């Protein structure tokens, strides 16, 4: 099946619903479904879910993991960097100050900053995902900003300190959101891996001990070729059901 969102995360949502329906038919009713919004930005749906008073032994967070249990993932620092300038006619640039030139110059040095690395999670990654600025080609721009996402491998405070020092006196820095690197539970006999993205686990682990798994590949998520096979979705249904059976009281995960 092809389509935006089919791997991340509509397919695995369908797999969870089918898994829960099958478990109910078996007479297993101590399982619930929770679907939230905002995971790709600030996890606002997951943080709001904490206010519902839900408590469980385990929570299985769905992400496209190739049906392998994820035992660790990176954190996140979401920052907005903006530069101010002075407008002028483009024929007389000496009369103004280009905010875009200032921002571009600053961003050019971003990759030279030294960020933490980790033996398990690997290197910090950086994505300048959005750039905005200016009014027209014939106007010196007085404002420019960039939205930057850092995939972190250490406490977010360390990154915030580095960025504040880097931007000080040259740009305005706003930290929109942060989350910390995570460790999740494993189950004997099931394959595991570590991934480079972040999830709702930081917010949802207050509800129960987290596991992270689902059908689909993150490598095709957010692309024009996003896809997932029906066989993998069916395997995801069976995996979710097996996890619930194994993790119910009386069974033993690790």
Active site residues: 39
At which residue do the structure tokens 């850092």 appear? 150
Q: What is the DSSP string of 14-74?
A: HHHHHHHHHHHHTT--S------S-TTTT-HHHHHHGGGT---SEEEE---BTT-EEEEE-
Q: CA–CA separation, 182 vs 99, rounded Å?
A: 37
Helices and strands (H and E) in the chain: how many? 6, 11
Q: What single-letter DSSP state applies at residue 177?
A: E
SS (H, E, C) 162-224: HHHHHHCCCCEEEEEEEECCEECCCCCCCCEEEECCCCCHHHHCCCCEEEECCCCECCCCCCC
Helix boundaries (H) for the chain: 11-25, 44-49, 99-108, 156-167, 201-204, 230-247
Nearest CA among 241, 229, 233 for reference residue 215: 233
Strand bridging mode 182-183 / 75-84: unpaired
Q: CA–CA separation, 129 vs 170, rounded Å?
A: 20
């Amino acid at each position: 099946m092809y389509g935006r969102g089919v791997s991340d995360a509509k397919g695995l949502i369908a797999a969870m619903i089918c898994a829960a329906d099958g478990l109910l038919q078996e007479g297993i009713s101590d399982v619930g479904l929770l679907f939230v919004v905002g995971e790709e930005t600030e996890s606002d749906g997951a943080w709001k879910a904490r206010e519902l008073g839900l408590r469980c032994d385990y929570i299985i967070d769905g992400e496209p993991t190739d049906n392998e249990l994820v035992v660790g993932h990176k954190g996140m620092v979401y920052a907005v960097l903006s530069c101010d300038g002075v407008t002028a006619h483009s024929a007389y640039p000496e009369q103004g100050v280009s905010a875009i030139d200032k921002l571009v110059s600053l961003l050019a040095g971003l990759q030279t900053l030294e960020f933490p690395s980790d033996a398990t999670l690997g290197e910090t990654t950086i994505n300048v995902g959005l750039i905005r600025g200016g009014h027209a080609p014939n106007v010196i721009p007085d404002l420019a900003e960039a939205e930057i996402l850092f995939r972190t491998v250490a406490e977010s405070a360390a990154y915030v300190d580095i960025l504040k020092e880097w931007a000080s006196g040259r740009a305005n820095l706003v930290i929109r959101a942060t989350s910390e690197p995570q460790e999740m539970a494993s189950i004997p006999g099931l394959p595991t891996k570590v991934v480079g993205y972040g999830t709702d686990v930081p917010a949802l682990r207050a509800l129960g001990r987290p596991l992270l798994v689902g059908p689909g590949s993150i490598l095709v998520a957010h692309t024009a070729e996003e896809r997932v096979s029906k066989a993998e979705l069916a395997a995801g249904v069976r995996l979710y059901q097996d996890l619930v059976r194994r993790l119910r009281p009386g069974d033993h995960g690790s």
